[in-house]
């Protein structure tokens, strides 16, 4: 449906549609735009967040430009970003392997299995890596390197760090902590990339594959000539998100390396630098300037990457491609065959059959290997949750008897209040997001009202703005509104930050609803409220479910803002509680792991229930690349 243009003189017939967007505008105006504007304003001040507020002009920016620590943080972020791009490869390979499974049942099985590591909150995975894998004396990583002999190999390369008698301190050694920040989460399938790629791959028609098989195309050519080009769109999109998210993120580094960014601040990223300046050194104006520069760089980078990915190719590239194409055509004419045709290799049928089995076996082995590594944190979480500390020291990686289920009741006691808080916050924020976003989506999709383009662009800009850059003025705003240490703050801010993606997704959906349905309703005398209620809402179930699940997971996993804003233990969300539990001086591993499991279970259950919905939402093109 193409939205009908409405002119100013026609507004009086449709004025009530503006009411649909007002709640969204108020929410994002107050919790996103106001902090952003305040951040810009205060970046020109020496501001301690309290009584000192002195205009210093561009001094903050001058100091920043000269600050080697600041630019080093960008270097760290770019290194991590580039590696995060490399870390997309396993997800892509897994998606292709699953897609190539001939049995739909196996495909479904694998897809279901990969859901679990995907939905375990990233913070929990980080904490497990921090406590179990990176620990120097008896961590799994060092044990694995010793057991496989890789430690000796590494020792030959870097004898000062590795060797048969050495136990590298991955998080304690400034030479190794950056490696640790890259390596954590192996095999890096813990995001929605697998499902997204799968959804796109499943959009490729079977006819294409059949035609390719007739031509005798091998598996590599299938991948490079058919699958990769067709999913390139989603790869580009994910690439942009990955690089930008790395630049914006502070949460995982904070969880892994602490507020100081590891020994010597080696893995400080820009967002962490900003948080430290604001909330430890009390240089809030300076932190606002960091936020502004971060926003500028992120927006510039997003625009640049998007242009690079989608722009028309420069003339010299076109000229070269034309020459190559002309040469291929000449060659094809000379042999009287289509240029893409390659005669099938003459391979003995028996060898071809065995080769096919081998490749199929390899494919399944690869998927199972990745699954095993992906499930390792979950496995550890479960088996350690039934151990005492002594059992853990004696046999950290295997089940030991007797089991200790009382760890779970201890964990339940510790995390129940915070799980309740998280459920309350996440559900409330999700409901608010959906209510407001659906109305706003209707506003943008249904008619092209005056000012709608302006509002739409205002929302689009928010997609590029890193929310963390507004953390400092947001904190101040919440203080002024007396919302610090309240669940209301987390709900409202969560709803505000969820508006952007939700409106984007829902707008596409609403605009896909045939216009005839609206006309029929209009003819029956339905106003916009009634059209929304009787036309849009009944059709929105799946998409609302998809968006709701994403928003719920986002709200559930959020911990940076609550870390700053909440004081009382009784009001903490579960992720902050887990972070605090991980900071305990003596760790009782059993209850700790049981606590992690309890924090992950609601998400896993929710996702299993809603997976069909979610996948349908993806495959029906809800997330348009």
Partner 1 sequence: MGSMQVRWWFASVLIMFSDGVAATPPSMSGWDYYRLGDFSMAARMFEREAARGDAGALYGLAATWHWRRPGEDLEKARQLYEQVLAQAPESDWAAWSALALARMKATMPPGKEPPVTEILAAYQRVVDRYPWHNAGEEAFLFIQATRLSQVETDAAAVVQELERFLKERPQSKYRSTAFGLLAYANEILGRPEQQLAALLAQLEALETDPLNPTRDVSGLYWQIAAVACFEVGDLRLAREIYQKFIHEYPTDSRVFFAKQQLKRIDELEARLRRERLTAQRSTQE
Partner 2 sequence: MKVVEVIRKYFAVGVVMLVYAWAAVAIVTYRREELPAEAKIVLRLGHWQLEPGVRQAFTRMAAEYRKIRPEVAIIQDAIPESVYGQWMTTQLMGGTAPDIIEVGLGVPYNVLLGFHARYFLPLTTYVNQPNPYNAGTPLADTIWRLTYKDGMRNSYIEELQEYMLVPLAQFGIRIFYNRDLLRRLTGRTEPPQNYREFLAVCEQIKRQRDEQGRPYLPIAASQYHVTMWEDFMANPLTFAAVRFVDFDRDGAVGNVELFAGMKTGRIDFDFPPFAARFEMIRQLTSHFQEGFTGLGRDEAVFLFAQQRAVFITTGTWDASSLVEQARGVFEVGVMNFPLPTSDDPDFGAILEGPRYERPSATFTFAITRTTKHPDVALDFLRFLSSQRGNEQLNHIIGWIPAIKNTTLPPMLEAFAPNLQGVYPAMPITLGGETIIRWQQLTSLFHVHQITYPELVARFRPFYLEQGVREFAEIVRNRQRGVARDEQFLAGLRARWLRAEGVEAESLGVRYRQLTAGRLILRDLGMARLQRMLAQGPSPQSRAPYEWSEAALAKIRSHVETTP
The DSSP letter of residue 86 is H
Given 111, 166, 507, 528, the residue binding partner 2 (CB under 8 A): 166
Q: 94 vs 615, which CB is nearer to partner 2?
A: 615
Q: Identify residues 38-77 at the interface with partner 1 (CB under 8 A).
A: 38, 41, 45-47, 50-55
Binding status of residue 301 toward partner 2 by CB under 8 A: no
45 binds, among partner 1, partner 2, none (CB under 5 to 8 A by kind): partner 1
233 binds partner 2 (CB under 8 A): no
From the list partner 2, partner 1, none, which binds 10 (C-beta under 5 to 8 Å, kind-based)? none
Closer residue to partner 1, CB minimum distance, 54 or 281:
54
Cβ 282 vs Cβ 48: under 8 Å: yes
CA-to-CA dists, residue 516 to 7, 11, 56, 523, 618, angstroms: 22, 22, 59, 10, 25
**SS3 at position 447:** strand
- CB-based contact 253:267 (threshold 8 Å): yes
Q: Find the part of the chain contacting partner 2 (CB under 8 A) among 189-197, 295-303, 373-381, 481-489.
A: 481-489
41's contact among partner 1, partner 2, none, with CB below 5 to 8 A by partner kind, is: partner 1
Q: Which range touches partner 1 (CB under 8 A), out of 31-39, 130-138, 259-267, 581-589?
A: 31-39
Q: Does 351 bind partner 1 (CB under 8 A)?
A: no
> Whose CA is closest to 385, among 181, 121, 137, 131?
131
State in angstroms the smallest separation of the CB of 167 from partner 2. Answer: 7
3-state helix, strand, coil in the chain (%, to 5): 75, 0, 25
484 binds partner 2 (CB under 8 A): yes
CA separation for the pair 85, 462 (Å, rounded): 24
Minimum CB–partner distance for residue 113 and partner 2 (Å): 22
Measured from the CB atom, the residue of 357 and 609 that comes closer to partner 2 is 609
Closer residue to partner 2 (CB): 101 or 419: 419
Q: Are strands 53-55 and 4-5 parallel, antiparallel or unpaired?
A: unpaired
Token duo for residue 153: 């190999």
Strand partners, 250: none
Q: Contact 42/50 with Cβ under 8 angstroms?
A: no
- Rounded to 5 degrees, φ, ψ at 53 are -150, 100
Is the Cβ of residue 100 or residue 166 nearer to partner 2 in the bound state? Answer: 166
Q: Which partner, partner 2, partner 1, none, binds residue 34 by CB below 5 to 8 Å per kind?
A: partner 1
Nearer to partner 2, 315 or 585 (CB): 585
Q: Rounded distance, CA 435 to CA 486, Å?
A: 22
Assess 40 for contact with partner 2 (CB under 8 A): no
| Cα–Cα distances in angstroms (integers) from residue 10 to residues 6, 467, 477, 610, in the given order | 6, 37, 38, 42
Task: Dig out the tokens for 168 from the structure.
Answer: 């590298």
Residues contacting partner 2: total by CB under 8 A = 57
Contact window for partner 2 (CB under 8 A) among 183-191, 317-325, 350-358, 580-588: 580-588
Tally the C-alpha atoms within 13 A of residue 201's C-alpha that lie toward its C-beta.
25
Q: How far is CA 514 from CA 53, 511, 535, 538, in A?
A: 55, 8, 10, 14
Q: Is 43 in the site for partner 2 (CB under 8 A)?
A: no
Binding mask 126-145 for partner 2 (x = CB under 8 A): ---------xxxx-------
194 or 275: CB nearest partner 2: 275
What the block records as the tokens of 262 is: 């590891």
Compare residues 113 and 458 and give the one whose CB is closer to partner 1: 458
Q: In whole angstroms, give the CA distance from residue 241 to residue 192.
A: 12
Q: Answer yes or no: are the C-beta atoms of 123 and 255 closer than 8 Å.
A: yes
Q: Quick one: tokens of 329?
A: 């055509």
404 binds partner 1 (CB under 8 A): no
H/E stretch holding 47: strand 45-47
Question: Among residues 254 and 459, whose Cβ is nearest to partner 2?
Answer: 254
Minimal distance in Å, beta carbon 413 to partner 1?
41
Binding mask 106-145 for partner 1 (x = CB under 8 A): ----------------------------------------
Q: Give strand pairing partners of 55.
A: 45
What is the 3-state secondary structure of 143-163? HHHHHHCHHHHHHHHCCCCCC
Please compute Rg for the chain using Cα positions. 27
Q: Which does 135 bind (CB under 5 to 8 A by kind): partner 2, partner 1, none?
A: partner 2
Determine, following the binding rule CB under 8 A, whether residue 524 of this chain makes contact with partner 1. Answer: no
CB of 31 to partner 1, least distance (A): 13
Helices (H), 336-403: 349-384, 389-394
The one of partner 2, partner 1, none whose footprint includes residue 484, by CB under 5 to 8 A per kind, is partner 2
Site membership for partner 2, residue 259 (CB under 8 A): yes
Residue 567 engages partner 2 in binding (rule: CB under 8 A):
yes
Structure tokens at 512: 């896909």
Contact partner, 54, from partner 2, partner 1, none, Cβ < 5-8 Å per class: partner 1
Contact 249, 269 (CB under 8 A): yes
Residue 427 binding partner 2, by CB under 8 A: yes
User: Considering only residues 2, 51, 205, 454, which one is a binding residue for partner 2 as defined by CB under 8 A?
Assistant: 51
CA distance 258 to 269: 12
Q: DSSP secondary structure string, 572-616?
A: --HHHHHHHHHT-SS--HHHHHHHHHHHHHHHHHHHHHHHHHHHH
Give min distance, CB of 419 to partner 2, in A: 8
Tokens of 585: 């001086």
Q: Is 614 in the site for partner 1 (CB under 8 A)?
A: no
Cα atoms in the 13 Å half-sphere on the side-chain side of 107:
15
Pick from 461, 610, 616, 621 the residue near partner 2 by CB under 8 A: 610
Instruction: Please say which residue, 282 or 619, places its beta carbon nearer to partner 2.
Output: 282
* Contact characters 430-469, partner 2, x per CB under 8 A: ----------------------------------------
Question: Given the rule CB under 8 A, which residues bind partner 1?
Answer: 34, 37-38, 41, 45-47, 50-55
Q: Residues interacting with partner 2, by CB under 8 A? A: 48-51, 135-138, 165-167, 169, 172-173, 258-259, 275-276, 279-282, 389-390, 393, 416-417, 419-421, 423-424, 427, 475, 478-479, 484-485, 487, 545, 563-565, 567-570, 579-580, 582-586, 602, 609-610
């Amino acid at each position: 449906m193409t939205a009908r243009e409405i002119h100013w003189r026609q507004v009086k017939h449709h004025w009530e549609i503006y009411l649909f967007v007002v709640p969204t505008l108020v929410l994002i105006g107050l919790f996103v735009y106001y902090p952003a504007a305040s951040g810009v304003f205060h970046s020109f001040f020496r501001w301690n967040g309290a009584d000192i507020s002195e205009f210093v002009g561009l001094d903050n920016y001058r100091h920043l430009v000269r600050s080697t620590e600041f630019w080093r943080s960008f270097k760290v972020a770019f290194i991590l970003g580039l590696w995060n791009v490399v870390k997309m490869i396993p997800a892509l390979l897994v998606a292709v392997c699953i897609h190539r499974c001939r049995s739909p049942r196996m495909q479904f099985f694998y897809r279901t299995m990969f859901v679990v590591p995907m939905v375990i909150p990233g913070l929990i995975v980080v904490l497990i890596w921090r406590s179990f894998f990176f620990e120097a004396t008896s961590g799994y990583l060092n044990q694995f390197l010793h057991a496989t002999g890789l430690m000796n190999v590494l020792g030959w390369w870097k004898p000062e760090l590795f060797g048969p008698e050495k136990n590298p301190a991955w998080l304690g050694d400034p030479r190794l902590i950056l490696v640790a920040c890259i390596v954590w989460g192996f095999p890096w399938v813990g995001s929605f990339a697998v499902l997204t790629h799968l959804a796109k791959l499943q959009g490729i028609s079977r006819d294409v594959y059949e035609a390719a098989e007739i031509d005798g195309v091998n598996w590599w050519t299938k991948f490079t000539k058919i699958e990769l080009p067709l999913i390139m769109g989603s790869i580009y999109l994910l690439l942009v998100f990955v690089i930008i998210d790395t630049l914006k993120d502070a949460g995982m580094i904070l969880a892994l390396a602490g507020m100081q960014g590891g020994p010597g601040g080696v893995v400080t990223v820009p967002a962490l630098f900003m948080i430290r300046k604001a909330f430890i050194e009390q240089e809030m104006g300076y932190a606002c300037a960091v936020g502004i520069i971060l926003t500028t760089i992120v927006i510039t980078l997003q625009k640049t990457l998007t242009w690079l990915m989608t722009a028309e190719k420069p003339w010299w590239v076109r000229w070269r491609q034309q020459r190559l194409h002309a040469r291929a055509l000449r060659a094809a004419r000379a042999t009287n065959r289509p240029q893409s045709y390659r005669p099938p290799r003459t391979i003995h049928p028996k060898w071809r059959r065995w080769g096919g089995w081998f490749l199929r076996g390899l494919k399944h082995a690869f998927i199972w290997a990745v699954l095993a590594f992906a499930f390792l944190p979950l496995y550890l979480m479960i088996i350690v949750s039934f151990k005492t500390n002594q059992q853990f020291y004696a046999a950290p990686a295997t089940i030991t008897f007797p089991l200790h289920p009382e760890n779970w009741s201890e964990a339940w006691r510790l995390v129940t209040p915070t799980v309740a808080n998280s459920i309350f916050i996440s559900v409330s924020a999700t409901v608010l997001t959906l209510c407001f976003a659906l109305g706003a989506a209707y506003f943008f999709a249904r008619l092209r009202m005056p000012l709608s383009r302006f509002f739409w662009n205002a929302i689009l800009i928010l997609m590029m703005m890193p929310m963390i850059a507004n953390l400092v003025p947001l904190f101040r705003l919440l203080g002024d509104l007396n919302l610090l240490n309240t669940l209301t703050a987390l709900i409202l801010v969560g709803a505000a930050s969820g508006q952007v993606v939700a409106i984007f997704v829902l707008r596409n959906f609403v605009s896909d609803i045939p216009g005839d349905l609206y006309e029929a309703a209009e003819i029956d005398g339905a106003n916009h409220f009634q059209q929304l209620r009787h036309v849009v809402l009944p059709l929105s179930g799946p998409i609302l479910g998809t968006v709701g699940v994403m928003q719920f997971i986002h709200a559930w996993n959020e911990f940076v803002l609550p870390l700053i804003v909440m004081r009382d233990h009784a009001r903490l969300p579960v992720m902050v509680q887990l972070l605090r539990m991980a900071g305990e001086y003596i760790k009782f591993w059993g209850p700790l792991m049981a606590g992690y499991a309890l924090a992950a279970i609601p998400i896993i259950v929710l996702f299993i229930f809603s997976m069909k919905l979610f996948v349908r939402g993806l495959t029906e093109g809800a997330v348009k690349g």
